[in-house]
Amino acid sequence: MGNPLGVRPVINASATLTALGGSLMAPPAVKAMAEAAAHFVDLHELHTRVGERLAALTRNEAAYVTSGAAAGITLTVAACVGEPGQAFPVDSEVVMFASQRNGYDYSARLTGARIVEIGPSAGELRDALSRRPACVLWFAGAHYATGALPVEPVVEVAASYGVPVIVDAAAQVPPVASLWRFTEEIGADAVIFSGGKGLRGPQSSGLVLGRRWIVERCRAHASPYQEIGRGMKVGKEELLGLLAAVEWMLEQDEDALLEGYEQMVARWIEGLRAVPGVEVGRGYPSEAGQPHSRAVVRLSTTSGWTRDGLVAALWDGDPRIAVGTIGVREDEIALNPQTIEPGEDGVVLEVLLRLLGTGREDPSRVRSGDGEEAGRDA
C-alpha cells in the first residue's frame, strides 16, 4: 500500500492513546464497518437493535453507542441533569473526588453543571449528596485510586440518597469483566468505555452501559435529535463495528492474552538487563491501571541519554517508535505490550539496544519540555 501523504506508521509501545490512533481494530470490526458502509438503514432502528444486543452480551439493562468515551460522559451527565427538550437547570451539580479531577471534566461541564469537589471521606460524600446533585462521577483505574473512596462505598452511600453514580472506565478493558462488574455486580447506574481502546473497535466510538432510564435519556439527548449531543454523531459503521468488536473480544482467551503480555515484558527486561547505565524492571499495573505489566527502563547519568532525548530518537528513527512516559519518573520510559503487534517487540528491543549501546545522545534530537509533544495524550 502506498503512502502519498508521507505520514509514517508507528510501532506503538506506549498505550492505547487517542493521538496514536487508539488501538488496532479487530478484523471482524473492520469487516462489519465495510459491510455497513454499503447500505442505507433506519438509524434509529439500528441504534436500538445494536443497543439491545450489546446489553445482552454485557449483562446490562441497556446499552448505547456514543462517539467516544468523552461523549459518553456528556450524555450520561445530561441524562442525570435534565429531560431532553428542556433547558438544563442552572444550578446542577456533579460530585467528584478532588484527586480525580482531570482533563475530561469539560465533558461534564458542557451541560452547565458545576463540579463539586470532595475529599476521600464518607462524611464529605454525604454532605455533598445532601445537596441533591445530579450525579456522582467516579473514575476507574489504579492511577485514580489515591485520594478517593473506592467505588463500592460510593455506590452504597449514593443509593441511600437516590443519587446516580456514573463510572468512567474508558481504558479499563482488560479485564473484559469490567463490562458488567461496575453495574451488575457493584451497582453503579452507568459505566462508560472507549470503543477504540481495549475493546479494539472503531476509535471514534464509545459505549454506555447501565440503567435503562439513563440509556434512553442518552439516546434522546443525542444525534440525530437537536439536543446537546447533536454533534456527537455515530454512524452505522461505528455501530456495527463496535458490536462486532465486543462480540470478538468476549470470545478471546483473556488469560492467554495477558500471559502473552507478561512474556513480552519478560523478554524486554531480559534483553535490556545488561546494558550499561540502564536499570530495567517490571512495572505493574499499566499506566491506566490495567492488570498487566510494562517494562520500565530507567536511564542513569552514565547512560549518556536523557529520557527526552531517547524518546525523541525513537520517535524520529526508522521505524518510528512511541514509548510511554505516563506514570513513570522523569528519567524513565515504559514499554507497553498491549499495543504491540506480533514481532514488533523484537524490533523495539533491537532499536533500544542499538541506541543505548552507543552510550551517547545526539544533541540535535533532544526536545525541550516533558517529552509529550509528539501528541501522546492520555
Domain ranges of the chain: 23-251, 254-365
Does residue 198 carry a pLDDT above 90?
Answer: yes
- CA gap 207, 179 in Å, rounded: 10
Residue 65's H or E segment, with its range, is strand 62-66
Is the domain defined by 23-251 classed in CATH 3.40.640.10?
yes
Using the 8-state DSSP alphabet, how is residue 275 labeled?
S
- The model's pLDDT over 233-265, given as tens digits with 9 standing for 90+, comes to 999 999 999 999 999 999 999 999 999 999 999
Q: What is the pTM of this model?
A: 0.92
- Residue at 5: amino acid letter: L
Residue 303: closest CA among 264, 371, 353? 353
- CA gap 242, 196 in Å, rounded: 8
- 337: cis peptide before it, omega within 30°? no
Using the 8-state DSSP alphabet, how is residue 87 labeled?
P
Contact 286, 336 (CB under 8 A): yes
Look at the block and give the residue holding cell 534530537: 365
- CA gap 6, 163 in Å, rounded: 51
Does residue 133 carry a pLDDT above 90?
Answer: yes
pLDDT of residue 370: 35
SS3 content of the chain, % helix, strand, coil (to 5): 40, 15, 45
Q: What is the share, in percent, of the chain residues with pLDDT greater than 70?
A: 94
For domain 254-365, the CATH architecture is Alpha-Beta Complex (3.90)
**Total count of residues recorded for the chain:** 378
365: pLDDT confidence band, cut at 50, 70 and 90?
very low
Higher-confidence position of 375 and 265: 265
Cα distances from 357 to residues 94, 145, 285, 304, in angstroms, run 52, 38, 28, 10
Residue 335: closest CA among 296, 279, 292, 376? 296
Residue 294: closest CA among 357, 348, 359, 367? 348
